[in-house]
């Protein structure tokens, strides 16, 4: 019998405002180390792709970071014909839910995006799951799109493994960049459009709060829409 994650079961009510308790503290918040190998990117805006479980929360955090010009939810790793929410969330495709981030490296570096990602968004010790969502479609992964990003990501994952910040092995990996497929329109800017949705209140709003508290110099109170 097919089982669905709590997020999948909630999607039918995705556009409805849901009364629920106030946001609780984000789970698995870790002060990830500052990168020993900082990113050296120049020449205008850059793009990075992150898989970190449900894309609503990944998008929400990056949309509140200074230097981020857009954060778009989508799918990565599978075919165009299967890049649809009902198929991806069922677990029958090879996609991961991802967020494509366009950023200004003169304001926020790629390695700083990594530090925030592993501090407040994704638990790098979990395989094929994040938070309440289980399945390979919710895997955490780094998807570098340039040689510089690949170098920085590889070095940072090694640094994380030896940092002692996590009490379990680091299992997150990098994946080769493939075509990015934007998710359906109702997924875009979801946290901004649906701040009282029960999933956002329970799982994602605390991540944004953690960003604000842990990285005030990188936090932007405004939400950069996709």
Tell me what pLDDT residue 178 has. 96
d(CA 101, CA 174): 16
C-beta atoms surrounding 180 within 10 Å: 18
- pLDDT band at 16; cut points 50, 70, 90: very low
Mean pLDDT of the chain: 91
Q: Is the pLDDT of residue 49 over 80?
A: yes
Compute φ and ψ for 173, nearest 5 degrees. -130, 170
Active-site option among 54, 61, 65, 172: 54
Q: What percent of the chain has pLDDT over 70?
A: 88
**Is 20 one of the catalytic residues?**
no
The region that residue 196 occupies, defined by phi over 0 for left and psi between -120 and 50 for alpha, beta otherwise, is alpha
Whether 4 has a pLDDT exceeding 70, the answer reads no
99 burial (CB, 10 Å; 0-12 / 13-18 / 19+) is buried
What digits encode the pLDDT tens for the residues 101-121? 999 999 999 999 999 999 999
User: Which CATH fold would you assign to the domain 42-183+204-214?
Assistant: 3.30.1060
Of 5-14, 20-29, 30-39, 70-79, least confident by mean pLDDT is: 5-14
How do residues 183-206 score in pLDDT, each as one tens digit? 999 999 999 999 999 999 999 999
Average pLDDT value for residue range 30-40: 97
Per-residue pLDDT tens digits for 162-188: 999 999 999 999 999 999 999 999 999
């Amino acid at each position: 019998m097919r089982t669905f994650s709590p997020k999948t079961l909630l999607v039918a009510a995705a556009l409805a405002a849901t009364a629920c308790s106030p946001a609780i503290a984000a789970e698995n918040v870790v002060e990830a180390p500052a990168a020993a190998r900082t990113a050296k990117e120049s020449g205008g805006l850059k793009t990075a792709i992150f898989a970190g479980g449900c894309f609503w929360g990944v998008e929400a955090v990056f949309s509140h970071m200074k230097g981020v010009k857009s954060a778009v939810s989508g799918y990565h790793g599978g075919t165009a014909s299967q890049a649809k929410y009902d198929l991806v969330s069922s677990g029958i495709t090879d996609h991961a839910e991802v967020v494509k981030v366009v950023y200004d490296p003169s304001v926020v570096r790629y390695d700083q995006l990594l530090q925030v990602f592993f501090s407040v968004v994704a638990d790098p010790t979990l395989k094929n799951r994040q938070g309440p969502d289980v399945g390979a479609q919710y895997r955490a992964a780094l998807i570098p799109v340039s040689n510089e990003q690949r170098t920085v990501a590889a070095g940072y994952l090694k640094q994380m493994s030896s940092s002692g910040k996590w009490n379990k092995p680091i299992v997150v990996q990098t994946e080769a960049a493939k075509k990015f497929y934007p998710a359906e329109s109702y997924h875009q800017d979801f946290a901004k459009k649906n701040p009282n949705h029960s999933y956002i209140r329970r799982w994602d709003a605390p991540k944004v709060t953690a960003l604000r508290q842990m990285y005030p110099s990188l936090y932007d109170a405004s939400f950069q829409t996709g």
